[in-house]
Amino acid sequence: MQGTRAASGALGPVDKPGRPRGRGRPAGGGNNAEAARTVLMDAAEKSILVRGFQASTMELIAQEAGYSRAAMYRHFPNRRALLESLVRRKTLRCQQEIALRLPENAGTATILVESLVIVATELIHDPVLKTLSQHSDEGTVAHLVANDPALPHLVEQLVEMMAVDDSDSRLRTGVPLRDIGRFITSTAITMLLGVVPDIDKVDTARRYVETFVLPAILEHPPAPGPVFDT
């Protein structure tokens, strides 16, 4: 049924067939669920960096994103769910950035090394994660990432890639893939905790992984060498 609407300053002009839709979006509408979550998380990140996590209320984030408070809670039932989603998105984006920065023919050993280097030297300094971690129980980025449900899945994918690689990245025989995955995860968390000296320096992190981590999981690890600057 086609109807007409009075054109007034308050309502604005009536859209005609074929006319592009304006930039405005009704509160909680105009986007599919995935797009809406993205807009809300973008607004949450911006607010958290400016105001901090505690001052960034769900209502305020929704308002700045152009959504209603009810729409916000449909996508994120509580602040904990929002925090977990932000950490998960950051972890996935880190994985995507790693893939883009590696050579196309990079072996899985190289992928593992560079992934852990980026975790130790960049992810730990991410401003959103650092701000969020201040309100966690332990107050560390490592705690946030360790509790990210996406992390075991990402590590599992990497280990599966290494398991079928027939190059020098072959895994040690007799070591269960499950154990390798847990070892890589615990190594990443240890690096994020900052307990390894100078681990946030790129060269140190790379030498650390090549000398201590790869020999634990590869049949043919690279030759060892000095790790820490004197």
Quick check: is 14 in a domain?
no
Q: Single out the residue in 25, 46, 77 at which a domain terminates.
A: 77
Q: pTM above 0.85?
A: no
Query: What pLDDT score was predicted for residue 112?
Result: 85
Quick check: is 202 in a domain?
yes
Quick check: is 168 in a domain?
yes
Quick check: is 96 in a domain?
yes
Q: Single out the residue in 24, 45, 77 at which a domain terminates.
A: 77
Same domain? 40 vs 89: no
**Structural domain span for residue 117:** 83-217
Q: Single out the residue in 24, 54, 77 at which a domain terminates.
A: 77
Q: For residue 56, what is the domain's CATH number? A: 1.10.10
Same domain? 104 vs 190: yes
Quick check: is 24 in a domain?
no
Same domain? 65 vs 115: no
Q: Two tokens at 172?
A: 């040690």
Same domain? 92 vs 194: yes
Same domain? 151 vs 54: no
Same domain? 71 vs 134: no
Q: Two tokens at 38?
A: 């993205």
CA distances from 34 to 39, 40, 151 (A): 9, 10, 21
Query: What pLDDT score was predicted for residue 14?
Result: 37
How does pLDDT run along the chain (230 residues), one tens digit per residue?
444 333 333 333 334 344 443 444 444 455 688 899 999 999 999 999 999 888 999 999 999 999 999 999 999 999 889 988 998 888 788 777 777 887 777 777 888 888 889 888 988 888 888 888 877 666 678 777 777 766 666 677 777 766 665 566 788 889 888 888 889 888 988 888 888 999 999 999 999 999 999 999 988 888 989 999 86
Query: What pLDDT score was predicted for residue 164?
Result: 66
Same domain? 98 vs 161: yes
Same domain? 67 vs 108: no
Beta-carbon contacts of 130 under 8 Å, excluding residues fewer than 6 positions away, are 141
Same domain? 126 vs 108: yes
Tell me whether residue 53 is exposed, middle or buried, using C-beta atoms within 10 angstroms of its C-beta: 0 to 12, 13 to 18, 19 or more. Answer: buried
> H/E/C letters for each residue in the chain?
CCCCCCCECCCECCCCCCCCCCCCCCCCCCCCHHHHHHHHHHHHHHHHHHHCCCCCCHHHHHHHHCCCHHHHHHHCCCHHHHHHHHHHHHHHHHHHHHHHHCCCCCCHHHHHHHHHHHHHHCHHHCHHHHHHHCCCCCCCHHHHHHCCCHHHHHHHHHHHHHHCCCCCCCECCCCCHHHHHHHHHHHHHHHHHCCCCCCCCHHHHHHHHHHHHHHHHECCCCCCCCCCCC
Query: What pLDDT score was predicted for residue 114?
Result: 86
Quick check: is 113 in a domain?
yes
Same domain? 137 vs 197: yes
Quick check: is 175 in a domain?
yes
Same domain? 102 vs 173: yes
Quick check: is 6 in a domain?
no
Domain count, the chain: 2
